[in-house]
Amino acid sequence: MANSIKTYLKHTYKDFKNRSVNPPLVRTSTMVFKSMKDLRQTQKKNLKNPKGGHFEYGRQGTSTTFELEKMLTKMEESYHTFLTPTGFGAVFLCLFSVLRPGNELIIADPVYSPTRLLTEKYLNKFNIIAKFYDPNNLDTIKKNITNKTKLIYVENPGSNTFEFQDLGKILSIAKKKKIYTAIDNTWGTPYFLRPIKLGFDLSIVSATKYYSGHSDVMGGTLAVSKKIFRKVLLAQNMTGLRLSPDDAYFIMRGLRTLDVRLDRHEQNTNLIVKFLLKKKNIEVLYPYKKNSKNYKLWKKYYSGSSGLMGMKIKSKDKKSIDKFVNSLNFFGHGYSWGGFESLALHQEIKEQGNRKFLNLKKNEFIVRLHIGLEDPKDLIEDIRKSLKYIK
What CATH number should be reported for the domain holding residue 135? Answer: 3.40.640.10
Same domain, 241 and 266: no
Out of 15-24, 56-65, 74-83, give the one with best mean pLDDT: 74-83
Same domain, 233 and 267: no
38: Cα within 13 Å, side-chain hemisphere: 5
Long-range CB contacts for residues 29-38, cutoff 8 Å, separation at least 24: 29/57, 29/58, 29/59, 30/57, 30/58, 31/55, 31/56, 31/57, 31/58
Same domain, 217 and 268: no
Same domain, 138 and 248: yes
Same domain, 33 and 120: yes
* Spatial CA neighbour of 385 closest among 220, 275, 270: 275
Same domain, 21 and 169: yes
Same domain, 250 and 263: no
The total of structural domains in the chain comes to 2
CA distances from 147 to 104, 137, 144, 261 (A): 9, 21, 10, 44
Q: Identify the helix (H) or strand (E) that includes residue 139.
A: helix 139-144
Cα 55 from Cα 168, distance rounded (Å): 38
Tell me the residue range of the domain where 378 lies.
258-389
- Please report the pLDDT score of residue 2 as a whole number: 58
User: Does residue 1 carry a pLDDT above 70?
Assistant: no
* Spatial CA neighbour of 182 closest among 121, 93, 69: 93
Same domain, 207 and 347: no
User: Does residue 317 carry a pLDDT above 60?
Assistant: yes
Same domain, 354 and 245: no
Specify whether the CB–CB gap between 153 and 105 falls below 8 A.
Answer: yes
Amino acid at 9: L
- Residues 212-229, mean pLDDT to the nearest whole number: 97
Cα 135 from Cα 32, distance rounded (Å): 51
Specify whether the CB–CB gap between 223 and 200 falls below 8 A.
Answer: no
Q: State the pTM of this model.
A: 0.94
- Residues 294-298, mean pLDDT to the nearest whole number: 96
- Residues 197-219, mean pLDDT to the nearest whole number: 97
pLDDT digit string (tens) for 341-379? 999 999 887 777 788 898 888 899 999 999 999 999 999
pLDDT digit string (tens) for 230-276? 999 999 999 999 999 999 999 999 999 999 999 999 999 999 999 99
